[in-house]
Amino acid sequence: MNLANSITIELEGRKIKVPEGLTVIESLWDTGHDVKRGVGCLSGLCGACTVVYLEKDSKKVRFGLGCQKVIEDGLIVIMLPYFPSRVAHYLLTSMDSPLQHLAEIYSELYTCNDCKACNVCPEWIDVARVMKAAKDEDYETATNHITDCIMCGLCASRCPKGIAPQHVALFIQRALVVERLFPPNLHQRLSEMESLKFEQELARVAAMGTDELESYCHTLGEA
Amino acid sequence: MYSGAMSDAIEKVNATRERRKLEQIALLPEEAAQKLLNSYHPDYRESAFRNLRVGVNCGARTTHEIADLLESFSDLDYTKIDLRPEYDTDVLVLGGGGAGATAALFAESNGARVMLATKLRLGNSNTIMAMGGMQVSVDERDSPVRHYCDTMAAGKFAGRECLVKALVNDGPQIVKWLLDIGVDFDRDAIGNLLTKKAGGISAPRLISIGDHTGLNIMKVLKDEIGMRDSIEVSEFTPAVELTTNEAGECNGAVLFDLGRKRHFVVRAKAVVLATGGSGRLHMQGFPTSNNFGATGDALVIAYRAGARLEGVDSFQYHPTGVMFPEHMVGVLVTEAIRSLGGHLLNAKGERFVNELETRDICAAAVIRECENGNGVMTRSGKGGVWLDTPLIEEISGKGVLRKRFPSLYRHLMRVKIDISKQPLLVFPTLHYQNGGILIDKNGETTVKNLFVAGEAAGGIHGRNRVMGNALLDIFVFGKRSGLAASEKRFNDPGKVTLTHVYSYYNMLKSLRISSVAKSPTLFPEFIVNKL
Ligand SMILES: Cc1cc2nc3c(=O)[nH]c(=O)nc-3n(C[C@H](O)[C@H](O)[C@H](O)COP(=O)(O)OP(=O)(O)OC[C@H]3O[C@@H](n4cnc5c(N)ncnc54)[C@H](O)[C@@H]3O)c2cc1C
Ligand code: FES
């Protein structure tokens, strides 16, 4: 292998030369680590590849995604692909107003004292703010940025109280939907389908040969 | 960070921006479009294809990459393996993406014991990567009939009527189910599901969850699976072969435990194969948008068991995959950027196609530019074209990119590329397997008790899939196959054998076919090609 453009990093506790420009995951592969547990999408979306690193001359340990973090000379890095967290057991479909049960389901939420240690999100979510809003029963604010959460669990790994913010937020997100108004347009469409409104036309169209269907499609235009 | 020749090339993009704002490029007339596809679309590149020499689809056309796998010996030393089942279950679901999770949930709710085995972690899949949204006809201007027509037309009328009909008919009901289990689709001011228009769709039909539709559905499905006592999840255990009984019906699978490095057998009354697509086979050397586990394993193991395939010579190449920075090669840049007015530009800073053409036409046009020397070269010698993202900020206002496409923005900011100020280099990326294992409307294949759902299945999308129909497909056919598979729970699965693997092996031998490929692939090779 040509290591002309290589840099030295400390990877999983071993000082080693690797070609520059690789991500942490790629440098693990490149140096013979059989990484399967800590990899999924390779696109920064699945949260399987969390890493902890210290940059050269930096005093602060940082957290990130191994498939996105590009290595630099002097980097010290290890993988942290999994951090155990409690997931509560509940059946949403059998609850009327699930948010009222938040205090039983994730009681540890109320031990949060807003220390902000959880603000290490690789997706730049202000986790502490989410937890505070949840405690204050401002659930819409709590779930505002949660659609970006990739469930990597880094926030949970930092919490001194053992809260798993990603699971708390997911429960709130799911519970809110159940409590929201059922979408009127979907309601309308479902009752139309129940009264077989489109049945005949769909059967007619589905029975058409290719040419007939093609010209039918042309007549439809934009709605 | 851009440097050297690439920075110089960006100057040309900046120089033409003002003028381009007023420029109109007409859509290609049908004949010219077909000519472009014939000359430059990878599906039309005859040298990349061959006809299968074995199996149910003998004589059918497919890519060399897939043919190599189908014409190769099993990676499993089936003479040594202990076939006594280590697990016995009613329904065995293979694959932990959206289709598999849905099948498992419906099978369980119908009273079956379920085992869900997957290659990596539950949820690591193409499903979480789906951004744009899902098609379902709920808008009052829309109807299932329109949805049917759009799907058939996009697929060049090669989709199967009964499957497309099932797809569009079940749509509204499946969205209700997703809402019931707590999936938070975007709403409008009065609480309606927010519907958007998209290329190839004749009515507003795309529903979404911000820019992370698949991720937010998958999180809920995964959470819900954890709550169901009769679903056993087995992670890091990919399927390497199906098993069959004396009558040739499917009755389980051989799984490989990645940790212990050993095989074991799960026996089941019915199997739902939901292992997704095949982007990581890097057809014709293309980059891919797919997850690490998308190696087309379903095609291989189902084909050996005698299942018929359909349309495995048709793939979707998404015109805009990242080409630089190199660690992001292949990562998808959503269509929405072009819908908002982002231009595609060659090295001269000139547009060369109407950006709202269908995916196949845009992809072919990009390939044409690069092959004719009008591409922009990266340091490692790969070519691409510019996607003018700063233009969008000029049209739609400052900050719109960060707000609408947070993950793309973040990932590039990390490597000091600010897409609100600098364009992005793109090239077509292998995105979707249009065909797959042929199913009927319950998801059953031509092999009894073997069901397939999701991207692994074929027959629905014809020769091309419209944006948003894949997500709908995985839930609709996940549900249908899960329910139908659970109906088999009182069957006698019979004896576990690998007879079909033996006969396949003999067939290859008698034809003197000896391939070096090992299959199924399970994991792509890692090749450091950046030196
Ligand atoms: C980047 C991207 C963006 C997309 N955007 C959209 C969009 O906006 N709208 C839309 O409709 N569609 C979109 N698609 C397509 C859509 O997401 C997929 O087609 C769909 O999610 C596939 O679902 P699936 O369950 O069939 O497969 P997957 O979600 O890929 O799941 C397959 C699962 O099977 C596992 N597996 C693989 N091999 C084995 C094996 N041998 N044994 C056991 N398990 C195995 C995998 O690890 C994975 O967990 C997008 C796809 C990508 C890649
Ligand atoms: S591999 Fe999925 S986030 Fe890195």
pLDDT of residue B527: 56
* Cβ neighbours around B233 below 10 Å, total: 20
The residue to mutate among A24, A49, A148, having the most atoms of ligand 2 within 8 angstroms of its beta carbon, is A49
pLDDT tens by residue, B36-78: 999 999 999 999 999 999 999 999 999 999 999 999 988 888 7
Residue B253, classed as helix, strand or coil, is strand
Owner of token pair 């949820």? B123
- Measured between beta carbons, the chain A residues lying within 8 angstroms of B173 are 190, 193
Q: Which of B173, B407, B526 sits opposite A44 (nearest CB)?
A: B407
Q: Which of A67, A177, A186 sits opposite B172 (nearest CB)?
A: A186
Instruction: Tell me if A12 is assigned to some domain.
Output: yes
Owner of token pair 């929405």? B336
Claim to verify: residue A100 and residue A60 sit in the same structural domain = no
Residue percentage of chain B with pLDDT more than 70: 99
Cβ separation A183–B179 shorter than 8 A: yes
Claim to verify: residue A34 and residue A75 sit in the same structural domain = yes
Domain B78-128+215-314+434-501 sits in CATH 3.40.50.300? no
Kindly tell me if the per-residue pLDDT of A214 is higher than 70: yes
Q: How close, in Å, is residue A186 to chain B by CA atoms?
A: 5
pLDDT of residue B519: 86
Claim to verify: residue A143 and residue A198 sit in the same structural domain = no
H or E element that contains B300: helix B297-304
Q: Look up residue B188 and give its two tokens.
A: 């409008």
Q: Note down the domain range covering A170.
A: 92-179
Domain boundary residue, one of A19, A53, A79: A79
pLDDT tens by residue, A39-84: 999 999 999 999 999 999 999 999 999 999 999 999 999 999 889 9
Cβ separation A210–B157 shorter than 8 A: yes
Among the bound ligands, name the one nearest to the CA of residue A40. Answer: 2
Task: Say yes or no: CB of residue B464 within 6 Å of ligand 1.
Answer: no
Catalytic residue numbers of B? 318, 338
Instruction: Tell me if A85 is assigned to some domain.
Output: no
pLDDT of residue B531: 35
Across A143-157, B235-249, B464-478, B507-521, least confident range: B507-521
Q: A9-33: b or e for each residue (b if 16 or more CB lie within 10 Å)? A: bebeeeeeebbbbbbbbbbbbbeee
pLDDT band, very low/low/confident/very high, at B528 (cuts 50, 70, 90): very low
Domain parsing of chain B, residue ranges? 4-40+319-430, 78-128+215-314+434-501
Claim to verify: residue A106 and residue A171 sit in the same structural domain = yes
Cβ separation A151–B169 shorter than 8 A: no
pLDDT tens by residue, B431-456: 999 999 999 999 999 999 999 999 99
If one counts the domains in chain A, the total is 3
pLDDT mean over B85-89: 97
- Determine how β-strand A6-11 pairs with β-strand A14-19: antiparallel
Instruction: Tell me if A87 is assigned to some domain.
Output: no
Q: Which atom of ligand 2 is nearest to the CA of A67?
A: 4
pTM assigned to the model: 0.97
pLDDT mean over B407-417: 91
Cβ separation A193–B224 shorter than 8 A: no
Instruction: Tell me if A223 is assigned to some domain.
Output: no
pLDDT tens by residue, B121-156: 999 999 999 998 999 999 999 999 999 999 999 999
Among the bound ligands, name the one nearest to the CA of residue B293. Answer: 1
| Residues B366/B387, Cβ–Cβ less than 8 Å | no
Residue A170 contacts B where some CB pair is shorter than 8 Å: yes
Q: Which atom of ligand 1 is nearest to the CA of B469?
A: 11
Domain B4-40+319-430 sits in CATH 3.40.630.30? no
pLDDT of residue B129: 96
Q: How many CB pairs under 8 A join A and B?
A: 214
- Measured between beta carbons, the chain B residues lying within 8 angstroms of A89 are 226-227
Claim to verify: residue A173 and residue A188 sit in the same structural domain = no
pLDDT mean over B456-473: 96
Residue bearing the CA closest to ligand 1, atom 50: B130
pLDDT band, very low/low/confident/very high, at B4 (cuts 50, 70, 90): confident
Q: Rounded CA gap, B384 and A142, in Å?
A: 41
Q: Which atom of ligand 1 is nearest to the CA of B291?
A: 53
Claim to verify: residue A14 and residue A42 sit in the same structural domain = yes
pLDDT band, very low/low/confident/very high, at B530 (cuts 50, 70, 90): very low
Residue A196 contacts B where some CB pair is shorter than 8 Å: no
Instruction: Tell me if A151 is assigned to some domain.
Output: yes
Cβ separation A90–B326 shorter than 8 A: no
pLDDT tens by residue, A94-136: 898 999 999 999 999 999 999 999 999 999 999 999 999 999 9
**Taking the C-alpha atoms of B175, A99, A102 and B185 in order, what is their torsion angle to the nearest 10 degrees?**
30
Q: Look up residue A203 and give its two tokens.
A: 């059967």
Claim to verify: residue A175 and residue A189 sit in the same structural domain = no
